[in-house]
């Protein structure tokens, strides 16, 4: 019997995935905080964009 409904991931797997994603967001925001104005310009970001991203909590 074949089911066309997508399989749901295991609840524990979702917890670990969410933790991993939150840690990854925190890591990339730390790296973003270290960029100079020229590096930001190369990425097409402004100082305000950087501040806006850094103000977000790690879970968002």
On whether the CB atoms of residues 17 and 34 are closer than 8 A, the answer is no
Q: What is the pTM of this model?
A: 0.67
The per-residue pLDDT string of the chain (60 residues; one tens digit each, 9 = 90 and over) reads 555 556 677 889 999 999 999 999 999 999 999 999 999 999 999 999 999 988 888 778
DSSP the chain: ----SPPPPPHHHHHHHHHHHHHHHHHHHHHHHT--HHHHHHHT--HHHHHHHHTS-TT-
pLDDT recorded at residue 44? 94
- Residue-range domain boundaries for the chain: 11-54
pLDDT recorded at residue 9? 74
């Amino acid at each position: 019997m074949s089911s066309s409904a997508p399989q749901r991931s295991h609840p524990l797997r979702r917890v670990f995935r969410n933790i991993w994603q939150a840690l990854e967001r925190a890591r990339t925001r730390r790296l973003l905080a270290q960029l100079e104005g020229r590096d930001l310009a190369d990425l097409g970001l402004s100082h305000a964009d950087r501040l806006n991203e850094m103000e977000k909590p790690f879970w968002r």
